[in-house]
Structure 1
Amino acid sequence: MKNGRVTNHPVLGTLDERVTLRFLFDDQEFEAFEGETIAAALLANGVRTLRRHEETGTPRGIYCNIGHCFECRVTIDGITGQRACLTVLKDGMNIRSGKTLPAPLKKGVH
């Protein structure tokens, strides 16, 4: 497993062993730890692009990581527009990058 996680912290010590889960992201299998959000698991596995901007097509990733923005929207088990930073990963999830998701707010609507 590609691992971008801190496993031995100088103040917090060594992390305990955790249950490993498997999930798909754009048809590629990854591993994660039980209790991680999708965003944390993807970051730990080296994935930085979660979707493409609706108008420009530029890559978008995790921005605030606390649920305030909508940059990390992905499709989870067929449900579009889910925020990866707020969704706890479950074993066997099928996650797809957001390629054609609508903008959260329409221009000109107040």
Structure 2
Amino acid sequence: MNELRIVNHPVLGTMPERKSISFIFDGKTYQGLEGESIAAALLANGIRTLRVHEEKGTPRGIYCNIGHCFECRVTVNQQPGVRGCLTEIKEGMVIESGKQQPTPLKNYAEKLAQMKEGKRHV
């Protein structure tokens, strides 16, 4: 399987064997284990950034891993805003990371400035 996945933990013991499944993240195929979360499968594949901040573009990953912080939001099978830490990975699932979006306030401020300069049709 994957070198980054912990299969023999000193306290929790040996992980039971599970079926390997394929999923797609940002256009690339990866392997996960049946029953694990999207976040766990991505971490085991060395992926730390699940999205970027919508306005600033700074990377975001797994923070709380219990569904409180919403930092792990991804798009799953074209459904946006899915929390990766709470959603079980499924065979053939298509996952996309969150991308930077246009900043509405910045665009609004620019339009106001243009209007003040007399450029009414912006």
TM-score relative to the length of structure 2: 0.77
Q: Deviation at 1:13?
A: 3.0
Root-mean-square deviation (Å): 1.6
Per the alignment, residue 43 of structure 2 pairs with: 43
Q: Deviation at 1:15?
A: 2.1
Q: Which runs of 5+ in 2 are unaligned?
A: 102-122
Structure 1 or 2, whichever has the larger Rg, is 2
TM-score relative to the length of structure 1: 0.85
Per the alignment, residue 65 of structure 2 pairs with: 65
Q: Which runs of 5+ in 1 are unaligned?
A: 102-110
- Report the structure, 1 or 2, having the larger helix content: 2
Q: Residue 64 of structure 1 aligns to a residue in which SS?
A: coil
Aligned length in residues: 102
Rounded Cα–Cα distance in structure 1 between residues aligned with 2:8 and 2:52: 34
Rounded Cα–Cα distance in structure 1 between residues aligned with 2:73 and 2:33: 21
Q: Deviation at 1:3?
A: 3.1
Q: Deviation at 1:54?
A: 1.1
Q: Residue 89 of structure 2 aligns to a residue in which SS?
A: coil
